[in-house]
């Protein structure tokens, strides 16, 4: 998979994750149906938030790895030019 496609997939993943987080917050704070469900409603809203965090995490991890890799490549290039 090319880097452009991977970045696009990760952007979609973080967008989906943010939507799930927003949905979970809405369900927990503003939905009367979730309140009527009691503990089950709390579990459903917490599950939405947890899945949102899971979907948004890979982008942060990938960007960290990418920055570390670029820094290492730059360090090697600097050593080779000296």
* Boundaries of every domain in the chain: 3-81
- Residue 57 vs residues 29, 31, 37: alpha-carbon distances, Å: 24, 26, 29
pLDDT in tens, the chain (82 residues): 777 787 788 889 889 999 999 999 999 999 999 889 999 999 999 999 999 999 988 777 887 887 788 888 888 888 887 6
Inter-residue contact 59 to 10 (CB < 8 Å): yes
| Entry pTM | 0.74
CA distances from 64 to 2, 16, 44, 58, 71 (A): 18, 20, 31, 10, 11
């Amino acid at each position: 998979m090319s880097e452009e496609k991977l970045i696009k997939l990760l952007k979609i993943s973080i967008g989906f994750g943010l939507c799930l987080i927003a949905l979970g917050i809405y369900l927990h704070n503003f939905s009367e149906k979730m309140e009527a469900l009691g503990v089950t409603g709390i579990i459903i809203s917490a599950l939405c938030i947890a899945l949102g965090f899971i979907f948004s995490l890979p982008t942060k991890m990938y960007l960290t790895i990418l920055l570390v890799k670029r820094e290492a490549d730059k360090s090697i290039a600097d050593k080779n030019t000296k």
